[in-house]
Amino acid sequence: MKTRPEKNEILERLVITIDGPAGSGKTTTARGVARRLNLRHIDTGAMYRAVTWKVLETGTDIRDGDRVGRVALDICIAFADHDGSPKTVIADGTDVTDAIRSSEVTENVSLVSSYPLVRKAMVRMQRRFARSGGVVLEGRDIGSVVLPDAEVKIYLDASTEERARRRLKELEAKGVTKGMDEVRESIERRDRLDSGHELSPLKIPVGAHIVDTTDLTIDGQVARVCETATRTAARLFELMTAEKDPNRFKREKPIYRLGRLTILFLARILFGLRIVGREGYEFYENYVYASNHRSNVDPPVVGSTIGRELAFLAKESLFRNKLFGKLIATYNAIPTRRDAFDRRVIRRALALLDAGGSLLIFPEGQRVAGERLGDAKAGVGYLALKSGAPVVPIYVSGTQNLGRALIRRPRITVLRGRPIRVTDSATAEPTGANSREFGRMVMSAIETLHEDFENDGKLLGGS
Ligand code: DC
Q: Which of 77-91, 201-215, 382-396 has the highest mean pLDDT?
A: 382-396
| Pair (227, 280) in one structural domain | no
Q: pLDDT at residue 10 above 90?
A: no
Q: pLDDT at residue 4 above 70?
A: no
Number of domains in the chain: 2
Confidence band of 248 (pLDDT split at 50, 70, 90): confident
Domain-embedded: residue 2: no
| Pair (182, 234) in one structural domain | yes
Q: What is the whole-number distance in angstroms between the Cα of residue 418 and the centre of ligand 1?
A: 26
Q: pLDDT at residue 32 above 90?
A: yes
| Pair (234, 336) in one structural domain | no
Q: What is the whole-number distance in angstroms between the Cα of residue 158 and the centre of ligand 1?
A: 17
pLDDT tens track for 395-417: 999 898 777 666 667 789 999 99
Return the ligand 1 atom nearest residue 26 CA: 1
Q: What is the whole-number distance in angstroms between the Cα of residue 104 and the centre of ligand 1?
A: 15
The per-residue pLDDT for 463 is 44
Position with higher pLDDT, 144 vs 339? 144
Q: Which of 186-200, 293-307, 407-421 has the highest mean pLDDT?
A: 293-307
Q: Which amino acid is at 51?
A: V
Return the ligand 1 atom nearest residue 197 CA: 15
The average confidence (pLDDT) of the chain is: 89
- Using CA atoms, how far apart are residues 92 and 54, in angstroms rounded to an integer? 9
Q: pLDDT at residue 2 above 70?
A: no
Position with higher pLDDT, 280 vs 27? 27
The per-residue pLDDT for 444 is 94
Average pLDDT over residues 137-161: 94
Q: Which of 10-14, 64-68, 172-176 has the highest mean pLDDT?
A: 64-68
Given 210, 239, 268, the domain boundary residue is 239
Residues near ligand 1 with C-beta < 6 Å? 22, 44-46, 48-49, 109-110, 113, 139-142, 194
The per-residue pLDDT for 203 is 84
| Pair (394, 434) in one structural domain | yes
The per-residue pLDDT for 93 is 94
Give the global pTM.
0.91
Given 220, 239, 258, the domain boundary residue is 239
Q: What is the whole-number distance in angstroms between the Cα of residue 45 and the centre of ligand 1?
A: 4
Return the ligand 1 atom nearest residue 146 CA: 18
CA 188 vs CA 85, 107, 159: distances in Å: 27, 14, 11
| Pair (259, 118) in one structural domain | no
Beta-carbon count within 10 A of 90 CB: 15
Average pLDDT over residues 69-88: 83
Of the ranges 43-47, 282-286, 371-375, which one carries the lowest mean pLDDT score?
Answer: 282-286
The per-residue pLDDT for 288 is 96
Average pLDDT over residues 254-281: 88
Position with higher pLDDT, 222 vs 188? 222
Q: Which domain holds residue 64?
A: 7-239
The per-residue pLDDT for 405 is 61
Share of the chain above pLDDT 70, in %: 91
Q: pLDDT at residue 282 above 70?
A: no
Confidence band of 244 (pLDDT split at 50, 70, 90): low
| Pair (285, 419) in one structural domain | yes
Average pLDDT over residues 98-125: 94
Of the ranges 21-25, 235-239, 278-282, which one carries the lowest mean pLDDT score?
Answer: 278-282
> Of the residues 31, 48, 77, 192, which should be mutated to test ligand 1's pocket, given the most ligand atoms within 8 Å of the CB?
48
CATH code: domain of residue 103: 3.40.50.300
| Pair (158, 294) in one structural domain | no
Confidence band of 389 (pLDDT split at 50, 70, 90): very high
| Pair (447, 355) in one structural domain | yes
Nearest residue (CA) to ligand 1, atom 9: 110
